[in-house]
Each structure stands twice: as structure tokens, then as C-alpha cells.
Structure 1
Amino acid sequence: MSTLTIEKLTVGYGDGAPVLDGLELEVPDGAVVALLGANGAGKTTLLRSLMGLAPVRDGRVLLDGTDLTALSTEDRVRRGLALVPEGRSVVVELTVAENLRLGTCWKKGRKNKGPAREAAVGQMYELFEPLARRRDAAGHTLSGGERQMLALARALVGEPDVLLLDEPSLGLAPLVVAQLLGVLRDQAAATGLTVLLAEQNVTGALSVADRGVVLSLGEVVADRPAAELAADPALRHAYLGF
């Protein structure tokens, strides 16, 4: 899989102060990294900038040493990045099966037709059993938890090298959250998938992460093993609110 490297990244909108200011971070090959911080810390902006969706003023985004900074969002996806944005983004007019087949179109350097595509979709049904039961249902009829499962499955079915997730647990029941985070952990362990997970659910995120990175006002203020970060009460109280 791939290592994601962020070098002195400065991102801002219009003439305002930068949201991210010289941020540096490395997400190692096959690691699950929890990106933590209060609202407004810059988590969503960081994920959007990695996908070419936010204006970068300075710095670089590298994937296995290759500079992606000037590439379009589509080209970044073709290189192996995938984003699951906040808000359970699915095509609500399409069925579950159609959404998943759409996701296979982005399989990087792999066959995406016929048996290979159906096998990839079938694997998602094994990971997310509720989707298998509702494969012919339109996206707009799904529950919030089912939509989030579908958004995650649609990203995974394209077999990305690096998966970026923005608040996947937002508004979901604890049991659904546990299932989603468990799938992420298992997929990373089984396939070497590299994951950068932005979450307000600090306890849940750290329970599946190898490392935790805390943002505050657009800067990294802590980058530690997840267990060590979870056990530091001073840091939790100062930046994470618990």
C-alpha cells in the first residue's frame, strides 16, 4: 500500500487567515491514524486539501514520494486516494448495488468489469450484511447507518491505497459505530490499507487506531501512539474535551 506525507501544508480560503498553517504529518503505510481535535481545528479542511478540494497556498502532498499537490481530484483518486466525506454521501437515486458498481469504476490499475467487479461487490456484502439484504433498495430509502455503510463500502470497493474518512460516526447509534470502526480496523489489518480517520468520537477512534494526531488551530499539537494519547489526561482535557 502507500505512505501519505504532508509537508508544510498551508491552506486557506480567500484573503483570510490560513486554516492550516505549515502542517506536517506522515501517515505510514498500512497504519490507521486518528485525526482528532475540536470543531474548527482544521480536520475537514485537511482531508479536503488532500483530495484537491481546498485551496493550497503552500506545501506539498506526497503519496509514496510522488507529489500530488498539482493534480486534480480525479487524478488523485486514480493514484489511490479515496475520501468518504461527512454526511453519508451516496447517490440516493441509485440502488445499493448500483452505488457499489459505480465505486468499482475507480479501481486503480485493476479490472473493473465482469467477474472481477462482481467479486469486489460481493466482498462488500460480506463486510456489510445489511447492504446485502437491501441491495435492490434505492439510496434514499436507507437508514442513516445503512447510508454510512454504503458510503464506506463504495470507497472500499475501489480498493484504494489510502482511505480518508470525515466523521463517519456522526449521528449514528453506538452499535453501528462499533461495526463501522471494526470493519476499518479489520480491513487495514487484512489488506494493508492506510487510513486517516477524522473523528469527534475520540474514544472509538483511538480504540481502532495505531496513532492519534491532535490538531488545534490548524497545527499538529500531538502525534503519539493511540494508547499513549488516550492515557494522557492533561492532553485530553486541553484539546479533546474529556
Structure 2
Amino acid sequence: MTGALAFEQLTVGYGGEPVLHAVSFALKPGDVVALLGANGAGKTTLLRTLAGFVRPTSGRVTLDGADLARVHPENRARLGIAQVPEGRSVVAELTVDENLRLGALWRYRGRGREAAIAEIYELFEPLSRRRAADGHQLSGGERQMLALGRALLARPRVLTLDEPSLGLAPLVVAQLMGTLRDAAAQGGMTVLLAEQNVTSALSIADRGVVLDLGRLVADDAASALADDTALRHAYLGF
């Protein structure tokens, strides 16, 4: 299986009970792939395995053909894998500006860092007005913008997001989804988006991958999945 990122016969479990069963699919540079399925389908487990927080029982995850099994989570980040986990993870005690500087710490120096942070403020204008606010003072939408902006500052090759639209207003969701699509198109970044807001995810995705109880049940163009009434009713709830 070829691709910038590939899951090859990936089986993962907790306490001997499998959660993912021989899941295989690949992503090319610039792909935006929606990872879909109900609660308990295995989406978060797959993302945690990619990040290195969970070890597979069998199978492997590869980046440019290289097995990531022996690569620690912090080193996966240095290889260009960035993650925005569920919960809009920001450092609540730091300001918006400090959070962004933390994200840019190892990627940029001097003027390059300032320019990169300025681009994030242009991309997410509400953050510019809140740059001195602490993370815990932000709205849900602002925290999600900050989490995404911090991830983008690392200039990742692969960006994964776990339920980024959860609890957000439709207008904020639309802005975040548009930003992801533009970032992938302009920089060749690969995006893997685990999302229960199926309509929003498919609206920006090239492909959709559907999991059901840890098994891959569909892998097709986003438009084809959106038009497949039987599959939508069976696995996606709409």
C-alpha cells in the first residue's frame, strides 16, 4: 500500500479486546480524508495509534513507507505528524499569544517566527483581538481556532483532528472546515479528519473512510458516500 501515510492491516485492542480489525487505507500528500463512523467505531483509537499513544496488536502505520512502530510520540511530531485531539487542547494558563509561540517554538526562529504567528492571526481574526486573553477565557470556537492555529504553526505534513466541530456554532464550523481545505490545497498537507458532523466533513473531503465497530466498511470519494443513501442510513445516521 502506497501513500504519504498508510494504515496496513491495523489491529488494535485494549486489554485483549480488539477495537480495530485489520484496517487498511492510505492517504496521499494533499488528501483530505474524512474518518467517519458512530461513537465506538474506532476513530479515536486509530488516531491515537497514529500519534504513538497506543501500540497495534498487529499491522502497522507507515509514513513514506517507513514503519512508525519504534518512533516515540514526540519524534512523530518532529517527522511532521500533528494532532488536534478532541477537547480543543490549549494551555489554559497561557495567553493566546503564548500558546501560539509555544506551537512555533521548534519550527521557527526570530523574524520567521513572528511572520508565521502573524499569518495565524490573519487566518483567525478573532484570535488577533484576544491575543492577551488566557486560554480558559476563550469561547469554544476561539479555543478550537487556537488549537488549529498552533498545529498549523508546526507546518505539519500530516494533520489529524478528532471531532473539531463538537459543540461549535455552524458558522464557526464552516470557517474551520474552509481553513482546513485551503491549508491542504495550498501546502500539500495531508488531513485526516475524524468527525461525526458528516455533512461538514464530506463537504471539504476528497474521500471518506467509514468505520463500523472497528471494521472498514467503505472507502470512496466524498461525493459518492454523500450520495449513497443506503450506506448513509446504515452507518452515518442521516
Bin for the TM-score computed over the shorter chain: over 0.9
**Partner deviation per Cα, 1:43-76 (whole Å, 9 max, x = no partner):** 0000000001123111111111121122110010
Q: CA deviation at 1:106?
A: 4.3
**1:100 maps to 2:96:** no
Asked if the contact 1:36–1:215 (Cα under 8 Å) also holds between the matched residues in 2, the reply is yes
Asked if the contact 1:77–1:106 (Cα under 8 Å) also holds between the matched residues in 2, the reply is no
For 1:76-155, what aligned pairs fall within 5 Å after superposition?
Answer: 76-107=76-107, 112-155=108-151
For 1:172-187, what aligned pairs fall within 5 Å after superposition?
Answer: 172-187=168-183
The CA RMSD measured in Å over matched residues stands at 0.9
Asked if the contact 1:42–1:215 (Cα under 8 Å) also holds between the matched residues in 2, the reply is yes
**Partner deviation per Cα, 1:208-232 (whole Å, 9 max, x = no partner):** 0000110011111000000011000
Q: Which moved more, 1:198-207 or 1:67-76?
A: 67-76
Q: Quick one: which amino acid aligns to residue 207 of structure 1? A: S
Q: Quick one: which amino acid aligns to residue 89 of structure 2? A: S
Aligned equivalent of 1:165: 161
Aligned equivalent of 1:200: 196
For 1:23-42, what aligned pairs fall within 5 Å after superposition?
Answer: 23-42=23-42
TM-score, with normalisation over the residues of structure 1? 0.96
Q: Give % identity.
A: 67
**1:227 maps to 2:223:** yes
After TM superposition, where is structure 1 displaced by more than 4 Å over at least 4 residues in a row?
Answer: none
Aligned equivalent of 1:218: 214
> In structure 2, what is the Cα distance between the partners aligned to 1:85 and 1:106?
20
Aligned equivalent of 1:53: 53
> In structure 1, what is the Cα distance between the partners aligned to 2:166 and 2:104?
26
> In structure 2, what is the Cα distance between the partners aligned to 1:91 and 1:169?
19
Q: CA deviation at 1:9?
A: 0.9
Does the residue aligned with 2:77 lie in a helix, a strand or coil?
helix
> In structure 2, what is the Cα distance between the partners aligned to 1:55 and 1:225?
29
Q: CA deviation at 1:25?
A: 1.1
Does the residue aligned with 2:57 lie in a helix, a strand or coil?
strand
Q: CA deviation at 1:113?
A: 1.5
**Partner deviation per Cα, 1:150-189 (whole Å, 9 max, x = no partner):** 0000100110000000000000000000000010011111
**Partner deviation per Cα, 1:96-133 (whole Å, 9 max, x = no partner):** 111011111343xxxx2111111111111111000111
Aligned equivalent of 1:9: 10
Q: Quick one: which amino acid aligns to residue 157 of structure 1? A: L
Does the residue aligned with 1:56 lie in a helix, a strand or coil?
coil
Q: Quick one: which amino acid aligns to residue 164 of structure 1? A: T
> In structure 2, what is the Cα distance between the partners aligned to 1:98 and 1:197?
26
> In structure 2, what is the Cα distance between the partners aligned to 1:35 and 1:121?
29
> In structure 2, what is the Cα distance between the partners aligned to 1:117 and 1:60?
35
> In structure 2, what is the Cα distance between the partners aligned to 1:106 and 1:56?
29
Structure 2 gap segments, 5+ residues each: none
TM-score, with normalisation over the residues of structure 2? 0.97
Asked if the contact 1:84–1:164 (Cα under 8 Å) also holds between the matched residues in 2, the reply is yes
